[in-house]
Amino acid sequence: MPGGGDDRRLLREAAGDLTALGVTGVQGIAADGRRTSTARSGVADIRTGAPVPRDGYFRMGSNTKTFAAVVVLQLVAEGRLSLSDSVERWLPGVVAGNGNDGRRVTVRQLLQHTSGIYNYTNDLPGLASPEAYLEHRFEHLDPEELVAIAMKHEPVFAPGTSWDYSNTNYILAGMVIEKITGKRWGTVVRERITRPLGLSHTYSPGDVPTLPRPHARATSSSSPADRCWTPRCST
């Protein structure tokens, strides 16, 4: 970013654009080793209008895909794998059945969402309704189990012939990372990305169901009035 006041202005504009689209609260931080700029937009509690806390924690969600892709590209640069490698080479027998064939799917296609592999999240029971979420929210599924859900379906298209967003692609990318490094993908991301960048508050929570405070609460509630940041918010 340009620096100084421009940093803050650009951050404010970006944060404002997101809340204009309907996001309840946004926080942005930019640091270049010399200065740190922050911006926030929206509210922490829609009932009181309290601002988003500057030290608030957010779930990363699909931003983890960016981290996984960076690690894969680092491993490619180190000569430890190729983007043209088949998934079968690193995860033999994992992508198979119902027309799925890991020999035909490349690592590049995983990263680009051009593998044609079915999106397992379409079948997760906990996403069917608020009631289903409450019933299933503490269930644990290993990466292999998530991929197995996708393998119950035929490919959406032949590998490399189209594009379709699929979380299964990045579950597989994470499994490839673990196979090559011999470490959990979260550990690899910490060693290669977050620690070198000084992102001391960015981490992989695993199965821990809570976040450090302050953080958003009731974000999956069917009642918008329950959405807030404060720990005192009733859910």
Distance CA 206, CA 42 (A): 29
From 37, 62, 84, 200, active-site residue: 62
Contact of 121 with 171, CB cutoff 8 Å: no
Nearest to 112, CA basis, from 159, 145, 76, 176: 159
Q: What CA dihedral angle connects 81, 85, 91 and 96, to 10 degrees? A: 170
The phi, psi pair for 50, rounded to 5°, reads -60, 140
User: What is the amino acid identity at position 22?
Assistant: G
Catalytic residue list contains 166:
no
Please list the active-site residues. Answer: 62
